[in-house]
Structure 1
């Protein structure tokens, strides 16, 4: 299962060396904030913005910790706000109208209303799916959505029992090219969850739209891959390879190529070199440069939204599950970046800030979603 395991170890070690020269390792706390570190966005490194994406322009302002973004067929999007549990519909012209509030959400720390995905067969299957923290666990619900009236309807919990804590809740959900729903979870501050294939914590899960384990799952349960610390980004390339972004602890954040049944090492390994039983990451960063949350792929580039790093990383995909040298965009320009999604036409990205969380410094108009044209 580890056929791609060592293909980029040399590149990863080289990037690690560069990162360690730029800034020393530090203990990473909630959402990528180093313990005892300055909590202002960014780390002050002197990287120039690389060419590539065009300049961001506001789509909508005045949001509060927007997390999941799911596009509808008309080009508008449903946006989940973490702390208030409110879902707003944002039109391409920036008009925002509340669709409703998700019941049962308990916000605390990094928990609350997190990921959101629209059924790929919408409106024939008129559902939105959300990942949220309740008073006892993290859950996935399927909620009917009336696009004409812009109202959330009846909600049904399809998966519960995902471990929850103040930190490390994961939270990203996305439909894969196989039509199944993928769910990124965290270890919920209990490292034992990650190596236990009977636990839903510290995993990438793969389920049907009714919450059953998807056919072909390696452990005959919802678990698709394991040994994760805190996954918050999922994206597929044109060859249907799944890439995931993951928060490290003291030294290294990761981009991983996900294979079903593989063990990605946490807590026994952070970064590469943990041993033959673990799958090495494709790419690592020092947490001050990244703390990666959302991920998106357009063409041959993987885009990664970074919280503590306060930048958008562009990672070239060079084929056969390997990556090139990453480039940083918008360093310290927008603050903490949570979610990045391609627009339906693929000509731009929508990128959300997370400056109203506990570690941000909101600017006027924050939080916001910006449109980034792809040149």
Structure 2
């Protein structure tokens, strides 16, 4: 079967070699005679898997030996909207509002304390990232989303503040070199750049915890999850195993320096064509365009369905825009090869040529 060029916003595309190894493990995990799907989360074999995944996450983020823990938990980033506030919000939290996911995080935090939106891009339909952000000193933490999949915007630099910094990095974690130590807590659903859906990575600095007085249900308590080494209850074993394989792949590629260069090349190729092509236009402001999710529209909506059908005929999958925005979205996560971008760009050129000759 011919593989499609997968531009889906999630679940992400993964390297072919990861699919091959994971599929073998579904039948027989490392010669154990058991499938990875039936391997106990408390077995010695899986303990090695999760410990290696945690170690790789800390290595790639440069947080090893810096008083951070790596947790692999259930529930996706949407679960972390609530869990971060449960564990960290004493009185008031500050938020930067840049789209749907930050709005959802604000809504969940309101169950636990006061929230203050200190900057927002809502006035221009989230087409940009707010600048010159001033954070008040009387908040427990500042929360923001580093990359916005729906609107195609991305923080190129991060807020400078004295209060703890919490970031939802679900769609751009491990896609570029950054100083991860400036954050006190980072969370990311696995299904963008880490692995398949089912697990969530949390990188948390130990000294940010234990400050709330409310009782926290055990499964939602970061401190108890740290003590249990992420296996407080049955872990999403397969998702964590594939995440480990993918993190190993990232290291073999040369780490975040090499990955960032590739991602920049892919994004520049596509945005150049969007800007050049007479039938399309980018949604986000140029200086804030996401390297992970290129969101663009037709100059006339009558072309939308025609281009989607045309792309489908060329084995291009997953470029339909989010239902709330329409248009198109091409997600360029780590494992998407440059050849897929070449295919999409050539498709856009051919569509323009064919349309303009009608």
Give the TM-score range, shorter chain. under 0.3
Q: What is the TM-score of this pair, normalised by structure 1?
A: 0.27
Higher strand proportion (structure 1 or 2): 1
Comparing both chains, which one has the higher relative contact order based on Cα–Cα distances under 8 Å and sequence gaps of 6 or more? 2
Please say which structure displays the higher CA radius of gyration: 2
Higher helix proportion (structure 1 or 2): 2
Q: What is the TM-score of this pair, normalised by structure 2?
A: 0.28
